[in-house]
Amino acid sequence: MYALVDANSFYCSVERSFNPSLEGKAVIVLSNRDGNVVARSDEAKKLGIKMGQPFFELKELREQHEIAVFSSNYTLYGDISSRFMSLLCRFVEDVEVYSIDEAFLHVDGYDSIYPSYEGLGKSIKETVAKRLRIPVCVGVGPTKTLAKLANKLAKQRPELGGVCVLDTPEVIDKALATFPVGDLWGVGSKSAAKLKKNDIDTAAQLRDVPDDWIRQIMTVNGLRLVHELRGFPCKLLEVSAPPKKSICTEPGFGRLVPDLNTITDALTTHLTRVCEKLRKQDSLCSAVVVSLHTKRYRKIPANGLPALQYHNHLTVVLPHPTNSTPELLKYAESGLKAIFKFGYNYQKVGIMLIGLVPSDYRQKGIFAEGPNEKLLTLATVVDKLNYRYGQDKLRLASQMYNPDWPMKQEYLSKCYTTRWKDILEAH
DNA sequence: TCTGGGGTCCTAGGACCC
DNA sequence: TCTGGGGTCCTAGGACCC
């Protein structure tokens, strides 16, 4: 049996846990640069605020109702998340961290400690509430898909007390009979539409379709999903996260930028961040993809001419895998120069590291040089110093510092758990 | 009459997840 | 004024190999 433990409105709950006066009030958390809504408390959902809704659209609503607004504070959420996961590891041996706010658990073989799955679920819920003041729901089922479904029911039906166990065929049948097929894990909007066309509206109906048919319309993923609904596990627990296969970043500038110099500065900064992640997972990358975009949603200006659009990307294959920032920068910059076109107002530049291989992988081309070992060592030293003395204390001369564009974060909370000066004071 | 058969690797695009 | 960001997996088709 699998359990899925998932925090309720995680980002909002974290903000609340350090500010109890927000209890019972509408809370929202915004995306980078305060652009869109990425998390909503139940009260905010009731006001009709949609996931992903642009923040500026809420102006009127905010005048009518009291809504607590926060910029996203990933330092804080990340730290609370890791505390959350460590708590879960005290309950069972096998824990798969599935996302920042949810984890799958293997829950078999603990009968002597927890006589029932309900008991285990309640115990987890109470402990997380007590230690972190984060509300969670627990769903239990014979497969990950059913655990996920159970979790959703636990959230929807307050009478369950936050724990839903699907353990017998009868209980599972009953749950599937009314569960909308589009709410299943792995059914997105496209598949939901296709299924609807074929008169499949509930999870129970999907469970009973022929294998060949579902494979045809939803590929092997759909087949796996159907088997999971029938109670045969196809998705197993991944206790140790496999290394990432690609690492990318593509944040917007926050304003429109026409010149290559500024864009190159931003590229250097982005590259510095992704290289740090690359080295942290102990990998080398064998190619970089640079991309450049103008702004998509620009309104047609007064002169009636739509803003010129330009989107392009280029893959630069390296002569040998590396994780050295200056070395990668050379190739990334050449890629940028190749796709940059004068005369546009750009919104963002992106960088993606692909073809990641373990760092002990040293495959030399017959005539090409291997990675420069000195540069690799240098990168390690730079990381250590920056970890100790603060991000970007040691940086490339070409990296923009104190960027002049606004990193809009008007509603940022403090880093209560990771920065000495931000620790709460008790009076 | 009859025009092989089996495989790998890469890429772009689609779909999905949080 | 103002519209996010970071990932994974699968498939079909092309190119290539023997």
Nearest nucleotide to A315 by CA–C1' distance?
B11
**In this structure, are A215 and A296 located in the same domain?**
no
**In this structure, are A298 and A379 located in the same domain?**
yes
Structure tokens at A64: 């009518």
Asked if residue A99 keeps its beta carbon closer than 7 A to nucleic acid strand B, the reply is yes
Alpha helices in A372-411 (DSSP H): 373-389
Give dist(CA A291, CA A303) in Å, integer. Answer: 29
Query: Domain span at residue A63?
Result: 8-74
Domain count within chain A: 3
Tens-digit pLDDT profile for residues A248-290:
998 888 888 899 988 998 899 899 999 999 999 898 888 899 9
**More reliable by pLDDT, A343 or A399:** A343
Nearest nucleotide to A355 by CA–C1' distance?
B10
Of A169, A200, A229, which residue sits at a domain end?
A: A229
**In this structure, are A99 and A217 located in the same domain?**
yes
Q: Does residue A124 form part of some domain?
A: yes
Band of the pLDDT at A301, cuts 50, 70, 90? low
Residues 6+ away with beta carbon under 8 Å from A3: A104, A105, A107, A117, A120, A121, A124, A138, A139, A140, A147
Give dist(CA A346, CA A394) in Å, integer. Answer: 28
| Beta strands A95-99 and A67-71, pairing class | unpaired
CA of A250 to C1' of C12 (A): 29
- Tell me what the pLDDT averaged over chain A comes to: 89
Q: Does residue A70 form part of some domain?
A: yes
**In this structure, are A56 and A94 located in the same domain?**
no
Structure tokens at A330: 């050379």
Q: Does residue A241 form part of some domain?
A: no
**In this structure, are A190 and A301 located in the same domain?**
no
**In this structure, are A23 and A51 located in the same domain?**
yes
**In this structure, are A224 and A351 located in the same domain?**
no
**In this structure, are A55 and A145 located in the same domain?**
no
Residue A199's region, left for phi above 0, alpha for psi from -120 to 50, else beta, is left
**In this structure, are A274 and A209 located in the same domain?**
no
Query: Reduced to 3 states, what is the DSSP secondary structure of residue A315?
Result: strand
**In this structure, are A153 and A279 located in the same domain?**
no
Q: Does residue A170 form part of some domain?
A: yes
CA of A303 to C1' of C7 (A): 40
Q: Does residue A216 form part of some domain?
A: yes
Alpha helices in A30-187 (DSSP H): 42-46, 59-64, 74-89, 117-132, 144-156, 169-178
Lowest mean pLDDT: which of A38-42, A235-239, A394-398, A405-409? A405-409
Query: Residue A362's pLDDT is what?
Result: 61
